[in-house]
Amino acid sequence: MAPPRRPGVAYLELYAIGDQGTGLPGQRLVARRMAELARKEAPSLILLLGDNIYPKGVRSVDDPQWQTKFEAIYIQPELQVPFYATLGNHDYRSKPDAEVAYTDRSACRCSCTAERRCDCRRLVATRKCWIMPRRYYSFHRRIDATTDVHFIALDTTPIAYPRYYPKQAAPQIAWLERELKSSTARWKVVFGHHPIVSGGQHGPNRPMRDSIRPLLERYGVQLYLCGHDHDLQLLRPNGSPTTYVVSGGGGKSRDVRYIRDSLFAATNFGFVSIRLSADEALIRFFDRAGELRFAYPIERKTAKR
């Protein structure tokens, strides 16, 4: 049983789903379950972990798939919150920059610096918004007056497949290190599409493991969230300050197994809820029936330098 909220404590609630963009009944089912929980908790944002539009992304901001695989899926009033998105490998099969451009078609607008730090605000309170101001970017949310959460969205496809994108990975990796090195946020949450640690059928991506994991652990990132494997997993490598979360059951399902680093693994659709306070994060996994399957608290730890 997950611990309840404590009176007088400020929280930031968010959900995370990946591999959701099918337009099929499984995606709609997960959306309904998210909305049911959101009626009780009122999340502030939702993270989309890539493969947003199956099977080949979108061709433009006018592609009809925006309606059938995003706008018409998350229609419940409780889900009219900002959706912060990142690209997956399937999104790369058409026009990934169309997903960036859709940010301007949405009900949100973002102002971004050259360093890809973005301030994104909801302009229409009655409609959800799609936010992907660049292929990779960062933003901040406050829990209370003194507690900041630094979210960093990665575009992992060029990093995961350097053979096909030989010149695109290095600038992003350098940018990520600058972001982490300069961050003074109490919580650092990095999210992308490809796994670094996983017991799913895809498993860990070696280039991601070799280039990104050392940065996460060097700078004390508490959470890395991803999809790609169509399952739900919580993994905590021994001695690592980083907890690895796979939430790839937003619209597809695939078998998964427990590995040495696994604390939880399940399949058949679902989503992840994260509740952040100043000193603790509560990670919860919900299945296709909306039932809580696993809850795991982590305490904030001071970043290494």
The pLDDT of residue 5: 84
DSSP state of 248: -
Mean pLDDT on 226-240? 97
The 10s digit of each residue's pLDDT in 255-268 is: 999 999 999 999 99
Mean pLDDT on 231-238? 97
Cβ–Cβ < 8 Å for 116, 137: yes
3-class SS of residue 215:
helix
The pLDDT of residue 127: 67
The 10s digit of each residue's pLDDT in 159-205 is: 999 999 989 999 999 999 999 999 999 999 999 999 999 999 999 99
In this structure, which amino acid lies at residue 115?
Answer: E
User: pTM of the full predicted structure?
Assistant: 0.95
DSSP 259-294: -TTEEEEE-SSEEEEEEE-SSEEEEEEEETTS-EEE
Whether 80 shows a pLDDT value over 60: the answer reads yes
How sure is the predictor about 6, in pLDDT bands with cuts at 50, 70 and 90? confident
How sure is the predictor about 19, in pLDDT bands with cuts at 50, 70 and 90? very high
Give the helix, strand, coil percentages of the chain, each rounded to 5.
25, 30, 45
Low-confidence winner among 12-26, 106-120, 220-234 (lowest mean pLDDT): 106-120
The 10s digit of each residue's pLDDT in 258-299 is: 999 999 999 999 999 999 999 999 999 999 999 999 999 998
The 10s digit of each residue's pLDDT in 87-144 is: 999 999 999 999 999 998 887 777 888 888 888 776 565 568 999 999 999 999 999 9
Q: How many CB atoms lie within 10 A of CB 118?
A: 21
Could you tell me the domains of the chain? 12-299 (3.60.21.10)
H/E segment holding residue 180: helix 169-182
The 10s digit of each residue's pLDDT in 41-62 is: 999 999 999 999 999 999 999 9
